[in-house]
Structure 1
Amino acid sequence: MKTRNIIRKGYSALIMLFVATSIVIAQSSDGIDQATTEVRSYVDPISNLIIALGAVIGLIGGIRVYIKWQSGDQDTQKALMGWFGACLFLILVGVVIGAFFG
């Protein structure tokens, strides 16, 4: 008789644990869904901002390389590759962020 009561209490505790776990998982699932929608709402503006920043850096780099070229500096190719690499990196980061999260 006592073992049946112990088994019933064990089953009851197991069922309550299962119900509590499922409630917690459902709540965390809602939080994850909400966080996902918030992150997706920020992706497009941030991606566009990074691409615009890359364009501005490209313009500044172009002007600086032109000034070096006009002044007869010998390392214009090195400066050109540095500025072009920075511009290309920022544009690619903007596109990859948009593709990854969008």
Structure 2
Amino acid sequence: MKNITLKNIDLKKLAIATMLIATTLPIFAQDGNAGIMEANQKVRSYFESGTQLMYAVGALIGLIGAVKVYQKWNAGDQDTSKVAAAWFGSCVFLVVVATIIKSFFGL
């Protein structure tokens, strides 16, 4: 029976890892510009739907805020104006950010 030592196992692992790296290096040595252009196209394809999603989330936040403010107003709470300003501000912020991003990038 052969003695297996930790040193032999580590050398085998190192040899296998070196062979794997050597065989996969040509895969990563491709034209980087093509990858950047592909990523650019993918991001641009999602941009319009992303801004539409931001508008939808802003509208949903506005509706939820309107219901919360209405509940507080009917309950006679004193801080109704603070809650209304917070909900309205968050709704406007989302819509403004989506509009600015859309106009800034010109897509």
Q: Does the 8 Å contact 1:61/1:83 carry over to 2?
A: yes
User: What's the TM-score, normalizing by structure 2?
Assistant: 0.65
Spell out, residue by residue over 1:49-70, the C-alpha distance to the aligned partner (whole angstroms, 9 max, x if none): 1110010100110111011111
Query: What RMSD, in angstroms, separates the aligned Cα atoms of the two structures?
Result: 1.8
Map of 2:10 onto structure 1: none
Higher helix share: 1
Larger relative contact order (CA 8 Å, sep ≥ 6): 1
Structure 1 runs of 4+ with >3 Å offset: none
- C-alpha distance in structure 1 between counterparts of 2:102 and 2:44, whole Å: 9
Find 1:67's aligned residue among 59, 68, 71: 71
Please show how residues 1-102 of structure 1 align to structure 2 within 5 Å.
27-101=31-105, 102=107
User: What's the TM-score, normalizing by structure 1?
Assistant: 0.68
Q: Does the 8 Å contact 1:57/1:87 carry over to 2?
A: yes
Matched-pair identity in %: 46
Total equivalences in the alignment: 78
- Residue segments in structure 2 that go unaligned for 5+ positions in a row: 1-28
- C-alpha distance in structure 1 between counterparts of 2:31 and 2:98, whole Å: 33
